[in-house]
Structure 1
Amino acid sequence: MTPLSVLDLAPVPEGGSARDALRNTLDLARRVEAAGYHRYWLAEHHLAPGVASSAPQVLIEAVAAATSRIRVGSGAVQTGHWTPLSIVEQFGTIDALHPGRIDLGLGRSGQRRAEAARRAAAPPPPAREARKATVVDGLLIPEPFDLTRLAKSPVFDLHGALLQQPGAETPDFAGIVDDIAALIGGTYAKGATEAHANPGEGAELELWILGSSGGESARVAGERGLPFAANYHVSPSNVLEAVEAYREAFKPSDVLDEPYVVVSADVVTAPTDEEATELASPYALWVHSIRSSLAAIPFPTPAQAAAHRWRPEDRELVADRVDTQFTGAPETVARSLRTLQRVTGADELLITTITHDHADRVHSYELLADAWNRVAGDP
């Protein structure tokens, strides 16, 4: 049966605090481990009032200490903001404390930031017809979202300045991945000079690449024979090209004989479709805060969401994310996720759920795990 895993942002609820969010993360980790989830990944987000996972390396250690079986890791380290040595030493330390349970997921967030800034500053390319939304064998592939909108915000530049040292250049992603692998494997050298990370060298880390398109991340993962996580919950329009590019580039390695793909999904389940719809109703407002100001607000209550007055252009800004969120009663969502798994060929699904009340979020994960087991054998 295709395993389910968890991606957690440590969301801060409206009226709550970062302390509440982090305590909720530890509780959720224990509960989903008991429910049978395979791994628990922490995202890396910065400067967002509504997200407390700004130091995932610290939180990963805390989650690993609070659990006993579930794999714990990063989804993903923003490699443009760290050196390979710092990443390996941090995760090597965690692995030394919790050997054989730690995943090191790497992403191109820093590199993509630089690319988006260059595109925003360049003359606009010739107009071409936008790719329209389509349904592929029951799975919605929405119209792509234009990231250059975000790069034109002054907040975008401020975040970049705070996340990197003055004058720092965003390094090549493939080179970072190779340096990290060499430091873990004990083969890092520049000319005749070697370097050895301690802790880090020889760590039992499972190395992953996360990506949102069919570009460099998918190619790097495939060419190096590493497992790949494709991002349907943030970039749903690109998920099929991402997994296809990864599989086309894949070469067997000491890690994998054949491709291994995880696909992420935003999910809210409740005992009934109506209850799930209400719990998920603040999601659009939350996504709008990210795409309009680059800073997730504390997750609103359903009452706040109901009171919000939407403009058509604001609805358009979040449509791809809202339309691809899986909400409903457990069996409804489980069958929809089976469609996602079938169409993408995913070997594993990575579930992220955010609701205002922590108890509802825990219950959503527990209901889904139970329903996933029940529908696994359905034709």
Structure 2
Amino acid sequence: MTLSILDLAPIVSGGTAADALRNTLDLAQRAERLGYRRYWVAEHHFAPGVASAAPAVLIALIAAATATIRVGSGAVQLGHQTPLAVVEQFGLIDALHPGRIDLGIGRSGQRRAELAAGPAPAEPAAARTVDGLLIPSPFDFSKLAGHPHLVHYATLLQQPGARTPDFADQIDDVLAFLDGGHEAHAVPGEGADVQVWILGSSGGQSARVAGERGLPFAANYHVSPAGVLEAVGAYREAFKPSGTLEEPYVIVSADAVVAADESAARELAEGYGLWVRSIRTGAGAMPYPTPDEARAHVWTDADRELVKDRIDTRFVGSPEQVAEGLRVLRRVTGADELLVTTITHRHDDRVRSYELLAGAWNRP
């Protein structure tokens, strides 16, 4: 199977964090039986609608509840922790579940600070279609990065006066702690059979570091679809063979909702736009709404523009429609795997979406 799952442990309206976490464990077990290759969890903070605030803890719970599927992070935000702490956490999990743990790392904390402090971006490129894949006009993340709520929250994720080192130096420290090349020893962690991944949304530092260190790379189509081709291209251009990989290895993320037919799938996906709006207005991901709650929102033109790139690049429909759309994504990006994230209000609908997708993906 060349499909994997990214889970945010979504909290739905009327639900609790405990409900969301139990649903995550249930979905991971079902994903294993369906043959999905990996089960990754995100790291989100201060979000009323997301329960995956501590990925290492959640990964340990999922690994204990499953037997064969790889489990990992998509991604640990390295700007909020030291490389030693991260290696110790993942080394501890690997000690009990050896050979199944993926350490996906992102530089989102550092990236937000750069966006907030940097100059205004140039005029965005127009949307275009590349061999059947929509590449939308990019969303301006600098406005979101400078939101007062997010600036304040960033201070709560670090000790007062703490400074985030350069991302490349942090990655080198992670690798040195894992392979025993650091002067200090991470116990547990040193010698752990943990697969290190770099996640990125553009052709910037994350893609280059992943390529230069010969690490596998995860490109983000589901949150930043405009930059996916540049990200993959920069990674491949920078790639150097390593003890980990002889050739580049890419996973690309995508949002998808599958149901028996397109009409039913679109009904299940109705809450998505309002949920994305809550994130992009700086409020944090809201509890995922029901279709009726989403329809009750009065949309403005500004609202629609705010979420347009995310809405237009989802894969929503029947099993055959979504499988075909994902095959286009894989072909155009050259991805070795796809990382699918699905959010619906009812857990049973989310499980069924992944079941239908697996069946359609495995059919010739």
TM over 0.5: yes
> Using the alignment, how far apart are the partners of 1:256 and 1:46 within structure 2?
32
Aligned to 2:231: 242
Matched, 1:308 2:297: yes
CA contact (8 A) 2:116 2:143 kept: no
Once structures 1 and 2 are overlaid, which stretch shifts more, 316-325 or 128-137? 128-137
Q: Out of 143, 153, 162, which is 1:149 matched to?
A: 143
> Using the alignment, how far apart are the partners of 1:305 and 1:111 within structure 2?
33
What code does the residue aligned with 1:153 have? H
Report the Cα offset of residue 52 of structure 1. 0.1
Aligned to 1:367: 356
What code does the residue aligned with 1:299 have? Y
> Using the alignment, how far apart are the partners of 2:180 and 2:253 within structure 1?
32
Secondary structure at the residue paired with 2:243? Answer: coil
> Using the alignment, how far apart are the partners of 2:226 and 2:302 within structure 1?
19
CA contact (8 A) 1:230 1:262 kept: yes
Aligned to 2:177: 183
Secondary structure at the residue paired with 1:10? Answer: coil
> Using the alignment, how far apart are the partners of 1:149 and 1:109 within structure 2?
15
Secondary structure at the residue paired with 2:117? Answer: helix
Aligned to 1:336: 325
Aligned to 2:280: 291
Deviations 1:217-252, CA, capped at 9 Å, x for gaps: 000000010000000000000000000000000000
CA contact (8 A) 2:2 2:337 kept: yes
Aligned to 1:224: 213
CA contact (8 A) 1:231 1:263 kept: yes
> Using the alignment, how far apart are the partners of 1:217 and 1:152 within structure 2?
21
Aligned to 1:43: 42
TM-score (norm 1): 0.95
Any residues of structure 2 matched to 1:8-19 within 5 Å, and which? 8-19=7-18
What code does the residue aligned with 2:161 have? G
Aligned to 1:28: 27
Deviations 1:182-231, CA, capped at 9 Å, x for gaps: 0000010xxxxx21110000000001000000000000000010000000
What code does the residue aligned with 2:228 have? V
CA contact (8 A) 2:6 2:74 kept: yes
Deviations 1:288-343, CA, capped at 9 Å, x for gaps: 00000240000000011111110001100000001001000000000000000000
CA contact (8 A) 1:139 1:340 kept: yes
> Using the alignment, how far apart are the partners of 2:162 and 2:87 within structure 1?
20
State the aligned residue count.
364
Identity percentage over the alignment? 68
CA contact (8 A) 1:103 1:206 kept: yes
Report the Cα offset of residue 131 of structure 1. 0.3
What code does the residue aligned with 2:157 have? L
> Using the alignment, how far apart are the partners of 1:159 and 1:169 within structure 2?
15
Matched, 1:318 2:319: no
CA contact (8 A) 1:114 1:170 kept: no
**Unmatched 5+ stretches in structure 1:** 189-193
Aligned to 2:161: 167
CA contact (8 A) 2:41 2:73 kept: yes
Secondary structure at the residue paired with 1:58? Answer: helix
> Using the alignment, how far apart are the partners of 1:247 and 1:103 within structure 2?
21
> Using the alignment, how far apart are the partners of 1:211 and 1:153 within structure 2?
22
Aligned to 1:191: none
Secondary structure at the residue paired with 1:293? Answer: coil
Aligned to 2:316: 327
Secondary structure at the residue paired with 1:361? Answer: helix
Matched, 1:210 2:199: yes
Secondary structure at the residue paired with 2:281? Answer: helix
Report the Cα offset of residue 109 of structure 1. 1.0
> Using the alignment, how far apart are the partners of 1:110 and 1:246 within structure 2?
21
> Using the alignment, how far apart are the partners of 2:46 and 2:65 within structure 1?
26
Aligned to 2:126: 132
CA contact (8 A) 2:113 2:145 kept: no
What code does the residue aligned with 1:302 have? P
What code does the residue aligned with 2:221 have? Y
Deviations 1:33-87, CA, capped at 9 Å, x for gaps: 1111000001000010000000111000000000001000000000000001000
Deviations 1:249-286, CA, capped at 9 Å, x for gaps: 00000010100000000000000100000000100000
> Using the alignment, how far apart are the partners of 2:141 and 2:276 within structure 1?
14
- Following TM superposition, the consecutive aligned residue runs of length 4 or more in structure 1 with deviations greater than 3 angstroms are none
Deviations 1:146-173, CA, capped at 9 Å, x for gaps: 0111123110111111111111112110
Secondary structure at the residue paired with 2:316? Answer: strand
CA contact (8 A) 2:343 2:350 kept: yes
What code does the residue aligned with 1:83 have? T
Aligned to 1:259: 248
> Using the alignment, how far apart are the partners of 1:153 and 1:264 within structure 2?
26
> Using the alignment, how far apart are the partners of 1:369 and 1:206 within structure 2?
24
> Using the alignment, how far apart are the partners of 1:172 and 1:267 within structure 2?
34
> Using the alignment, how far apart are the partners of 1:246 and 1:11 within structure 2?
30
